[in-house]
Structures are given as C-alpha cells and as structure tokens.
Amino acid sequence: MACRKREVPGHLPAGRKGARGLKGRNPTMRQKAAIDKAGLKASEWLVIKNLSKELHLKHRYNSETKVIPA
C-alpha cells in the first residue's frame, strides 16, 4: 500500500507560493529612491521582484503588496 502524505489545512503544496510565501529582500539605494519617489517609506517595504520598468513590493509588517514604476 502506497503511503500518502497527510494534507494539512492551509498548507500549500511545494512549488506554490501564496501571498505570504513571497520572500522580500531589503531594497538597494536606487530602489529606495524609487520607493521614496512613489510616496512610500522605504524602511517599511521589501522588494519581491525587480523588473526593468517596475518594482514589486511587499509591506514589511502587514504583507500588503504594491507595484510601482522603477
């Protein structure tokens, strides 16, 4: 009989990321300038994705996400 993993409620399978699963990184000086220019406090935001024309940000405390021009 094959052993199956028990599914845990609220748990996402490996390889899938929910909004909470996205890990942010501290912004660089150039990214901080773009965050400040967008009217946000750079100390409260983490960078999830850095594209050539936009930055994807995640709030450090409440997991809110935003996309701003880079």
- Both tokens assigned to 66: 């935003």
Q: Is residue 41 assigned to a domain?
A: yes
Nearest-5° Cα angle at 19, 17 to 23: 70
Q: What is the pTM of this model?
A: 0.69
Total domains in the chain come to 1
- Both tokens assigned to 39: 């009217």
Q: Is residue 10 assigned to a domain?
A: no
Banded pLDDT at 55 (limits 50, 70, 90): very high
Q: What pLDDT shows up at residue 21?
A: 62
Question: In the predicted model, what is the mean pLDDT of the chain?
Answer: 83
Q: What pLDDT shows up at residue 70?
A: 86
Q: Is residue 63 assigned to a domain?
A: yes
Domain that holds residue 42: 29-69
**pLDDT higher than threshold 60 for residue 16:** no
pLDDT tens digits for 27-53? Answer: 999 999 999 999 999 999 999 999 999
